[in-house]
């Protein structure tokens, strides 16, 4: 591959703004998600319950929670879920979500796990969206917001690998070419 790509220049918080554009997440859709915010608060404990039941039943994921303060984890996961319905997907939101992605890179977690676990979040987020007077529009909107998180989790892992390889070979452009060439 010989051409540089403009996507390579989109970094950090700008990634989220770019994806909002790509997904056509409009101001109206963002606003739609704000109104079921109370329903999201009510749904959050059930989401957290399903999430950890699944995660702790699987030995490869359960082992990440040895010596972890679970009540803190529960609160952070519920906040993450409720924030899907904040209605504001700006730079500050991007920063918070990117930092969550990075926290999982730091613990050496293969990215397949958080991405697979979004399945639980999607089911509960759609249940919240269906409480809206325009359920189809709300479901479509929340799917876009979850797609943002899926992308951010993946991006955090990719960024770390790119950073590591860039440091080794001296620059990011060369690192990208090495990663993409056969
Ligand atoms: C949908 C997927 C997931 C979401 C939304 C999520 C959410 C979060 C949030 C909000 C935090 C707090 C980050 C911070 O601000 O410090 C966190 C931390 C953490 N998550 Fe997840 N998580 C997900 C998947 C997973 C999976 C699959 C595992 C393990 C198998 C995991 C293990 C952990 C651990 C161990 C921490 C604590 C990290 C630390 O102490 O710095 N998470 N998660």
Q: Is 117 in the pocket of ligand 1 (CB under 6 A)?
A: yes
Distance CA 95, CA 58 (A): 30
In-domain check, residue 92:
yes
For the chain, what is the domain count?
1
Above 70 in pLDDT, residue 153?
yes
Distance CA 117, CA 67 (A): 21
Q: Compute the mean pLDDT over every residue in the chain, rounded to the nearest whole number.
A: 95
Above 90 in pLDDT, residue 35?
no
In-domain check, residue 160:
yes
Distance CA 152, CA 1 (A): 25
Q: What's 108's domain CATH number?
A: 1.10.490.10
- Atom 7 in ligand 1: residue holding the nearest Cα: 77
Above 90 in pLDDT, residue 1?
no
In-domain check, residue 17:
yes
Q: Is 145 in the pocket of ligand 1 (CB under 6 A)?
A: no
- Atom 41 in ligand 1: residue holding the nearest Cα: 103
Q: What distance in angstroms lies between residue 159's CA and the mean position of ligand 1's atoms?
A: 18
In-domain check, residue 69:
yes
Kindly report the backbone phi and psi dihedral angles of residue 170, in degrees, each rounded to the nearest multiple of 5, phi listed first.
105, -25
Q: What distance in angstroms lies between residue 13's CA and the mean position of ligand 1's atoms?
A: 20
What integer is the mean pLDDT of 6-11? 94
Above 80 in pLDDT, residue 182?
no
Give pLDDT tens digits for 104-139. 999 999 999 999 999 999 999 999 999 999 999 999
Q: Percentage of residues in the chain with pLDDT exceeding 70?
A: 98
Tokens 């990011």 identify what position?
172
Extract the tokens encoding 90: 């700006």
Tokens 């109370």 identify what position?
38
- Ligand 1 atom nearest residue 100's Cα: 13
- Ligand 1 atom nearest residue 65's Cα: 35
In-domain check, residue 121:
yes
Give pLDDT tens digits for 68-112. 999 999 999 999 999 999 999 999 999 999 999 999 999 999 999
77: closest CA among 55, 95, 94?
55
Helix, strand, coil proportions of the chain in percent (round to 5)? Answer: 75, 0, 25
């Amino acid at each position: 591959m010989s051409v540089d790509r403009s996507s390579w220049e989109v970094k950090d918080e700008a990634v989220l703004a770019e994806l909002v554009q790509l997904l056509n997440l409009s101001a109206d859709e963002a606003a739609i998600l704000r109104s079921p915010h109370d329903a999201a608060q009510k749904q959050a404990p059930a989401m957290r319950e399903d999430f950890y039941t699944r995660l702790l039943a699987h030995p490869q994921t359960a082992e990440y929670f040895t010596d972890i303060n679970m009540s803190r984890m529960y609160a952070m996961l519920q906040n993450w879920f409720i924030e899907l319905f904040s209605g504001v997907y700006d730079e500050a939101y991007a920063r918070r979500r990117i930092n969550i992605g990075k926290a999982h890179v730091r613990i050496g977690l293969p990215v397949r796990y958080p991405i697979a676990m979004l399945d639980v979040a999607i089911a509960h987020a759609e249940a919240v969206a269906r409480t809206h007077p325009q359920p189809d529009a709300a479901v479509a909107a929340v799917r876009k917001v979850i797609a943002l998180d899926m992308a951010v989790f993946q991006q955090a892992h990719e960024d770390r690998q790119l950073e590591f390889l860039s440091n080794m070979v001296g620059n990011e452009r060369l690192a990208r070419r090495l990663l993409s060439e056969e």
